[in-house]
Amino acid sequence: MKSIKHILFCLIGILVSSAINADNHWEKVEYKTIKIKENIYAMIGQGGNLAVFTGKDGTFLIDDQFAPLTEKILKEIKKIGGEKPKFLINTHWHFDHTGGNENFGKKGTIIVAHDNVRKLLATDNTLKAFNKNISATPKEGLPIITFSKDTTFHINAETVRAFHVHNAHTNGDSVVHFNKANIIHAGDIWFNGFYPFIDVEHGGSLEGMITAATTIMNMSNENTVIIPGHGPVGNKQDLMEYRDMLTSVLNILRDYKKQGKTLEEVIKAKPTEDYDPEWGNGFLDPEQWVGIVYSGLEAP
Ligand SMILES: [Zn+2]
């Protein structure tokens, strides 16, 4: 868990980078490449965790972090014997997972994502929780193949299935399953070790996060390696602890919602107090997190 503190996370990274010399900032980003199985790797740099799958049929990349990091990512891919990605999947639309899209699209990489990822990237948008305006992605950076439910890649002697989970972190999340290798990239359904951001402004919900985490757990066994969107690579047991924490917090907050409490009253009552020491040290402090989640909860 302590390693989390050593990783600069996406949204904080953006805030920090706007305050210091941006070029210098990106230069300092270092990659940690973790070999999971034969030709499948997790790469942790800045922003959402990447997965890279290399082989004779071509290199397959999951997510692409930020535009200034594209060349570094390519360098890391070459180090493990890969090449310019043939395919790139976006697990969802957020800028710390799709920032390199335009660069990769211009290089001829085929970008694939859920229908709503393309819709959200194609227009100007906001992320009110972070006071951020996001400009539309140029045409070259938009997914050119989209799907509503799932899609399967048959490459490098592996079956890779990307499938949509509903209204979880956003309205367009995909989970990617390497069937034979028993590896799953969970996208931002999983923030391993800390409270997750939930994009309630664009269809995300705590209920959906819990359902999606359960879906991933049900596909996993004790040997499954699960790459989270943020935080260290983990397993089914780690994911279960996170899912159970989310469920407990949901139940607590639902009670407050039933009682008609305002967000101010809820925050004052410190509803996540028991969980904060373990889960409240990521990029969202407990108050921010409760604010995001509570505002997204349906009134009973
Ligand atoms: Zn995200």
Biggest alpha carbon distance in the chain?
59
* Global confidence as pTM: 0.92
CATH of the domain at 154: 3.60.15.10
- Distance in Å, CA 190 to ligand 1 centroid: 10
Q: What is the pLDDT of residue 299?
A: 77
Q: Is residue 162 part of a domain?
A: yes
Q: Is residue 286 part of a domain?
A: no
At residue 137, the 3 state secondary structure works out as coil
Q: Is residue 55 part of a domain?
A: yes
- Distance in Å, CA 56 to ligand 1 centroid: 31
Integer distance in angstroms from the first to the last C-alpha of the chain? 35
Q: Is residue 241 part of a domain?
A: no
The more confident residue out of 197 and 282 is 197
Please determine, for residue 20, whether its predicted confidence score (pLDDT) is greater than 70.
Answer: no
Into how many domains does the chain fold? 1
Q: What is the pLDDT of residue 298?
A: 82
Work out whether the CA dihedral 216, 219, 221, 224 comes out positive or negative.
negative
Q: What residues does the ion ligand 1 have nearby, CB within 5 Å?
A: 94, 188
Please determine, for residue 97, whether its predicted confidence score (pLDDT) is greater than 90.
Answer: yes
Rounded Cα distance between 102 and 109, Å, is 10
- Distance in Å, CA 200 to ligand 1 centroid: 11
Q: At what angle do helices 286-296 and 236-258 cross, to 10 degrees?
A: 70
Return the exposure string of 180-213: e unless at least 16 CB atoms fall within 10 Å of the residue's CB, then b.
Answer: ebbbbbbbbbbbbbbbbbbbbbbbbbbbbbbbbb
Q: What is the pLDDT of residue 129?
A: 87
Return the exposure string of 246-280: e unless at least 16 CB atoms fall within 10 Å of the residue's CB, then b.
Answer: bbebbebbbebeeeebeeeebbeeebbeebbeebb
Tokens of 240: 């279960």
Average pLDDT over residues 33-60: 97
Q: Is residue 265 part of a domain?
A: no
- Distance in Å, CA 196 to ligand 1 centroid: 9
Please determine, for residue 14, whether its predicted confidence score (pLDDT) is greater than 90.
Answer: no
CA angle, 6 then 248 then 274, to 5°:
60
List alpha helices for 52-182, DSSP H: 70-79, 95-98, 101-106, 115-121
- Distance in Å, CA 167 to ligand 1 centroid: 13
Please determine, for residue 140, whether its predicted confidence score (pLDDT) is greater than 50.
Answer: yes
- Distance in Å, CA 259 to ligand 1 centroid: 31
Q: What is the pLDDT of residue 300?
A: 73
pLDDT in tens, 144-203: 999 999 999 999 999 999 999 999 999 999 999 999 999 999 999 999 999 999 999 999
Q: What is the pLDDT of residue 22?
A: 58
Q: What is the pLDDT of residue 23?
A: 61
- Distance in Å, CA 230 to ligand 1 centroid: 9
Q: Is residue 71 part of a domain?
A: yes
What is the residue-wise DSSP string for 241-263? HHHHHHHHHHHHHHHHHHTT--H
- Distance in Å, CA 149 to ligand 1 centroid: 19
Q: Is residue 20 part of a domain?
A: yes
Using alpha carbons, select from 257, 283, 258, 252 the residue that is nearest to residue 270.
252
Please determine, for residue 4, whether its predicted confidence score (pLDDT) is greater than 80.
Answer: no
- Distance in Å, CA 94 to ligand 1 centroid: 5
Rounded Cα distance between 88 and 137, Å, is 16
Q: What's the domain range around 231?
A: 2-236
CA distances from residue 133 to 118, 125, 198, 220, 293 in whole angstroms, order as listed: 17, 6, 17, 37, 21
Tokens of 175: 């989970």
Please determine, for residue 12, whether its predicted confidence score (pLDDT) is greater than 50.
Answer: no
Please report, as a single letter, which amino acid is at residue 268.
Answer: K
Rounded Cα distance between 230 and 4, Å, is 9
Work out whether the CA dihedral 55, 60, 9, 191 comes out positive or negative.
negative
Q: Is residue 200 part of a domain?
A: yes
